[in-house]
């Protein structure tokens, strides 16, 4: 039975859904005779959070029955060295998915690095080709966090057709691709993209059936922003003196919302789950795994 908050809101449990997806992927790989499906990550520098994210990705890949490689370079390695590693992975037929851990240290041209990743290996969905496929509605790999939000909506039976959705934040990583996914034919939400120049965000949010906070502003969404029964999804993450917090003031909002993601344990685990889902999709697209 799905859990609820003290205020009665349905908890959209990303840890639980991640485990379900990882188990499904493991089952599919085992049923196919366990062919090698390989995710390669590229980590530049010694940023602590980035190191933890990469470890978590590889731990979940192992649970899914996938192989994983982690290419680690010093922050001083230089643009040419990073590009050489990515180019080598792009040309390696035993590598099916490539993820360059972002952000790269100061001084690197991240766009030039991403441009070396073939669209069919772009499991982060960030290259120009992948974004173009998304915009044109063509088959391709979609960003892990936006895809994770969509999987949560599906898993918890949140209606989207004819519903109003607001996405707060317009980043290429989350806000823009998620807005496209929500507006797609078959999903059929009416989407507003809000940002720092949107005016009265509180009123815009109160008109929405689905509120996605992806601005990176700690606890910016309060009960005053949420109409009773709305679905609230917290994508933002900020490191504060009080620890890691999201864009949603969970305690006040859970008393008003109909469904809500926790922080942590909401969209974060789903990003990793969808990274692995994309890796298996990539292997299929490359003919390395049965369709």
Say whether 46 is catalytic: no
124 given a catalytic annotation? yes
46's CB contacts (< 8 A; 6+ apart) are: 74, 75
Among candidate residues 13, 57, 120, 122, the one labeled active-site is 57
Which entry of 60, 101, 163, 254 is annotated as an active-site residue? 101
In whole angstroms, give the CA distance from residue 39 to residue 31: 19
Question: Are residues 221 and 168 in contact, defined by beta-carbon separation less than 8 angstroms?
Answer: yes
Report the distance separating Cα 172 and Cα 125, nearest Å.
10
Number of neighbouring beta carbons within 10 Å of residue 74: 11
Decide: 178 and 212 in contact? Cβ < 8 Å.
yes
- Annotated catalytic residue 249: no
Q: Out of 13, 120, 122, 124, which one is annotated catalytic?
A: 124
Which residues form the catalytic set? 57, 101, 124
């Amino acid at each position: 039975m799905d859990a609820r908050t003290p205020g009665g809101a349905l908890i959209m449990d990303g840890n639980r859904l991640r485990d379900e997806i990882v188990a499904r992927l493991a089952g599919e790989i085992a049923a196919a005779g366990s062919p090698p499906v390989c995710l390669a990550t590229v980590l530049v520098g010694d940023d602590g959070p980035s190191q933890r994210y990469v470890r978590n990705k590889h731990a979940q890949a192992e649970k899914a029955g996938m192989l994983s490689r982690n290419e680690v370079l010093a922050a001083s390695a230089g643009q040419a060295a990073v590009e050489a590693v990515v180019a080598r992975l792009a040309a390696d037929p035993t590598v099916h998915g490539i993820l360059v851990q972002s952000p790269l240290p100061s001084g690197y041209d991240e766009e030039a690095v991403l441009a070396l990743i073939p669209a069919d290996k772009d499991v982060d969905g960030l290259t120009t080709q992948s974004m173009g496929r998304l915009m044109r509605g063509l088959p391709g790999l979609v960003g892990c966090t936006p895809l994770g939000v969509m999987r949560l909506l599906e898993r918890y039976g949140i209606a989207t057709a004819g519903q109003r959705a607001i996405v707060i934040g317009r980043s290429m990583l989350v806000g823009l691709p998620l807005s496209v996914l929500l507006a797609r034919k078959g999903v059929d939400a009416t989407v507003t993209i809000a940002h720092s120049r949107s005016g009265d965000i509180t009123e815009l949010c109160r008109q929405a059936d689905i509120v996605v906070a992806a601005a990176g502003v700690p606890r910016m969404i309060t009960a005053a922003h949420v109409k009773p029964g709305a679905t609230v999804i917290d994508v933002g993450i900020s490191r504060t003196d009080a620890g890691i917090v999201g864009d949603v003031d969970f305690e006040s909002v859970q008393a008003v919302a109909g469904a809500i993601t926790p922080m942590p344990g909401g969209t974060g685990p789903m990003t990793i789950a969808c990274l692995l889902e994309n890796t298996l999709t990539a292997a299929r697209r490359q003919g390395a795994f049965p369709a």
